[in-house]
Structure 1
Amino acid sequence: MKASKGSVRRFPSDAWYAVAHSEEVGRSPVGRVIHGTGIVLYRTAQGAVVALADRCAHRPYPLSRGEVVGDLLVSSYSGFAYGPDGRVVSVPTQEQVPVDAAVRAYPAAEYAGLVWVWTGNPGLAARRPLTLLPWLTEPGWTTFGADWETAASGGLLQDNFADITHVPHLHPVLSPPVLRQAPPRLHVEVSEQQVRFWRDFPATRLQTWQSEVTGLSPDAEFVQREEGFFASPGLWTDRWDVLTADGPRTMHFTHALRPVDDRRTHHYWAVSRNFAPDRETTGILRPLLEGYYRRVKDALEVMQDLIDREGPAKEVRVRADAAMLEVRRVMHRLLAEETAR
């Protein structure tokens, strides 16, 4: 194997990452892995989410194999009992708790049906609030989605989100006709920690499925707009608008990434729309979008396998890479700032 460190892009710790669906976290401990490190989740008696390091301070045994008693998490191997702050409050073999006996506690939050954990410096968590996702929380939107683990680095997923010109080649049935033409100019806006890009496609007819789900005429031509947003290392959103006289038919795509390790990424995706809330429309869209994301998953795993086998190589750049390159620069800068701290 010729893989080198240069073939994998690390993810910063100073970021919010979605680690579970809210309904997955209850009064029984749940284990997750992020950045190669275990985290255990559970709820207190009042329903608050607790996130602790998933390793007993006494012996190398996962706390996620323990049980919740009141608000305490008790190791099923050592019997050490941990409070929501990670401190050991009782030891079964002695009255005195050893000084500094504790595991790390992580800032945790619930939003948009997901549990988010801040894995870096806890003092920075409040200064970088979660990105608002109103299409997942407000009325007027219909959403479906899924999640799975992709055997590829999170950087490869980010590269994929930043350039949709591959869609006609990867899934021709899904691709709107405008993507089969030379793409118009891509506008890219960069801030210290985020990247936003957009472009307007000239008026053309809709793909068959687009006309069917939006109720728009298959013979009419519509301007369409693509928008992408690198919100944070663990969150990416996209938007696709079909512009009409009575307002856009909009589809929002949400991607929450959890880097399990350098070569495995948990991917939660959701598709939200502001039109046709009926189940029949979902029945048309779900197989199309899920089929596309599974093709992306397969393609990225092939890429990762090639990188692992042959190592990194010089890549030819084209204009469509503009947003991808800016995302890479922001990721590099976030990692550099974190290392400096």
Structure 2
Amino acid sequence: MKKTIGVKVSLALIPVLLVSFMIMQYVIINEFRGASLQQTQNNLNMLGQSVFQTLRSAMSFGDATIVESAIDEAAKIKGIESIVVHKSQEVINAFGLNAVVSDDPVIETQFKNPHNLNLELAGTTGRILRLVVPLIAEGECLACHPTSAQGDVLGVMDMRYSFATIDEDLAQRSIKFILIFSAFLLFITTLLLFALKRIVGNPVEALLGRAKDLASGDGDLTARVTIKSDDEIGEVGHNVNVFIEKIQQTVISSQQIAHNVGSTSGTLNTSASTLLESAKNQSSQVKESYALTQKVEKELDRSEKLAIKTAEDNMASFEVLDDMTNSLNEVVGHISSSSSSEQEMA
């Protein structure tokens, strides 16, 4: 099956659009994910600070039961997987608690160099945000912790928040983005194909129609390609029209030359007929001249023979005359002799 220019352009354009939209979607989703995660972390930090302030308020009562109750209530907040308060060795010793200091390197570092810390971890249920906040003794804390000094780390709050709900929401939003981008890609592709049809397809079809019309042998050389554009296709259409006009002028000139050749051929035919008739007449005259020549030749032969005979007759006449002359001379001699004799006798 022959592929048209529109199909070829579409086959080349659709993958480019698809890749472009995929890259755009990837960038937008990642940016959205990053912004969502940043906003979530900010919210979780606020939540952690809120839980921390709740614990500090509960600790201000100096009742461990109230503190444990506050921790349990905070752990019930949606998304929070666990809240653990790691106590310092000094607090364990001061209150005689049955506990040991955590050997977690992150917690140990907080007792030495306290600072708020956010860690993103991979858990069994998905990604987890770990908030580590040191509980630093302030002035009002010294009433319950007389053995501690202001600025000492009394404990470390270790709260873990699951991103499962957020990831699920992001996945659903990603699907929505994919559907929106797919619909937009389909719309853009349809719009581009329609534009290509009007901008490229229709002019090319017009050029193709004129080319087929010219190639059929019965093409109308008075028709022109109508392309109302100033781009390369419009220039091609203009050049095709110029070419058709040149062919039309050539055909008109050829027709005029053919007409002139026809007229000349008629004149030549007439001249040829005249020459043929003249040739026939000359041939007849030549034949007549030849016959006359033959007749003259025969007459000349006959005259020659007559002349020869006449000459021979003349010679014979001359001889006869000569003989007659001689005879006459002899007669005259005899007459003279006789006369002389008669005179003497007289």
- Is the shorter-chain TM-score for this pair beyond 0.5, marking a shared fold? no
TM-score between the two structures when normalised by the length of structure 2: 0.21
Larger Rg: 2
TM-score between the two structures when normalised by the length of structure 1: 0.21
